[in-house]
Amino acid sequence: MTDLIPTSSTTPATASDPRRWWALAVLAASLLVVVMDMTILNVALPEMATELHLTSVSQLWVVDAYALALAGLLIPVTALGDRWGRKRMLITGYAAFAVGSVAILWADSAAAVIAIRALLGIGGAMVMPSTLSLIRSVFADARERTLALSIWGASAALGGAVGPVVGGALLEHFSWHSAFLVNVPLMAVAIVAGVWLLRENRSPRPGRIDAVGVLLSAGGMTAFVYAVKQLGKHGPSLPTLALLVLGVVMLTAFVRAALASDRPMLDVRLFGNPVLRAGVVAALASSVAMASVLFVGSQWLQLVDGRTPLQAGVALLPLAVGAIIASPFAPALAERTSPRIVLAGGLLVLSAGLGLLAVLPVTYPFVAVAFAVVGLGTSALGLGSALIMGAANDDQAGSAAAVEEITYELGAVLGITFLGSLVGAVYRAGLPSGADGAVRESVAGAVGGPWFADAADAFVTAFGSVGAVGAVLTALAAYAVWRLVPADLSLSDVHH
């Protein structure tokens, strides 16, 4: 067996090794499965809630347990992977996914399902940054690495859009357990292929992992993400604001400790590089846009347009198609022009797609066009990933991967929380004053009732407002990227 990735990133793999693309196939496919798993649950939750008698609070925890475990553990798990081995961490993450997915067969309570979702979140924290670190290691050539990261980004977009389709198809023929069990054979294949194709890779100078740092990073991220989610669901309250402040204080203390250390768990000095900051802005804007469009778009398709979960999943596919078509061309276009033009231009296309949601008639053929343009705009995301990973040296590769994954996670949380809250506010403002409590709560409460036409109109207005606000935010992100990325930066420079 010929191993592919070098034991130390001080001896990079040769660009001529033909098996590096097989390695990318394994890494991209496993990321697709992880992202699919996030979205499949949305389709399976109603049936699961009925069978297990989940309360509304339990349902929220089933959804949130994954994100909280993932966000809280990204920094310490990535630092451990730098020291222990990124391949080992990746394979362990695959195994965690497989074990959690099999365990669902014995889940008979809310607590059991929440625990399994948390285990899957731990697996996600192991898999996602490891894929980025390993891609950086195996692709020594900056141009090839940018293409590889573009394919990686397209895989994430595909997973987000295909998840509801797979979930809907499974639930039409099997029980809600199938939404979890589909991971098992996929992860088994990933483990075998990963062991065969990938070689161990570690940081030559890993950061120190200390109990205080783990507590501050994990506790701070978990508190911050949970508080932001609660703000979106229930509005401001004293406990929520106190938790938000606690999260910010803990994360600030972690950053100060990292700056004072010569070998920190997360090298926050990376943020001193404007090119990395540009990649973070692009990743954050893209993540906010995709999460909010998937969240609000799926509600409109099912509750207002009257589609089944499977039909709604298929209707979301233009998002993925746009990204898949354009992603492979972004690196070549960046080489002919410049990374600054392609990255800022991609964000402007994304802004245009969101703007179309605000100005076009909200009927499916038009919405599909807007979805496709949004997908085209996210195609530059791989270039943003290349900027983030290329700004790091060999010692900092794990930190750069953690920064990128935290950015994606926070983008999804912020998109659903704040743009989701905007939907609720605009929706309620558009309802007649006599609408009852269930209708005012959400458009789901109006389905089949006398207020449905009014509620549907109000939700369409709310959908358009998300497009309008999202268009402005992504246009501002494009401007920020344009200012941060040097005009003379070339694709060959995107490699520390």
pLDDT in tens, the chain (496 residues): 334 433 344 334 444 456 788 889 888 888 888 888 777 777 777 788 888 888 767 877 887 888 888 888 988 999 888 888 889 999 999 999 999 999 988 888 889 999 999 999 999 899 988 888 888 888 877 778 888 888 888 888 788 778 888 888 888 888 888 888 888 898 999 999 999 888 787 877 777 888 898 899 999 999 998 898 888 777 889 999 999 999 999 999 999 999 988 888 888 888 888 989 999 999 899 888 888 888 888 888 888 888 887 888 889 889 888 888 888 888 888 888 888 999 999 999 999 999 999 999 888 889 999 999 999 998 777 788 888 888 877 778 888 888 888 888 888 888 888 887 888 888 888 888 877 777 887 787 888 888 888 889 999 999 999 999 999 999 999 999 999 998 887 777 665 5
Note the pLDDT of residue 6: 38
DSSP-derived secondary structure letter, 391: T
Instruction: Tell whether domain 20-208+261-493 is in CATH 1.10.287.3510.
Output: no
Position 17 scores a pLDDT of 56
pLDDT on residue 10: 39
pTM, full prediction: 0.86
For the chain, the domains span 20-208+261-493, 209-260
DSSP-assigned letters across all residues of 425-490: HHHHHTS-TT--HHHHH-GGGGTTSTTHHHHHHHHHHHHHHHHHHHHHHHHHHHHHHHHHS-TT--
The overall longest dimension of the chain from CA atoms, in Å, is 72
Q: Determine phi and psi for 268, rounding to 5 degrees.
A: -70, -10
Helix (H) or strand (E) holding 179: helix 178-181
The C-alpha torsion from 170 through 175 and 177 to 180, rounded to 10°, is: 10
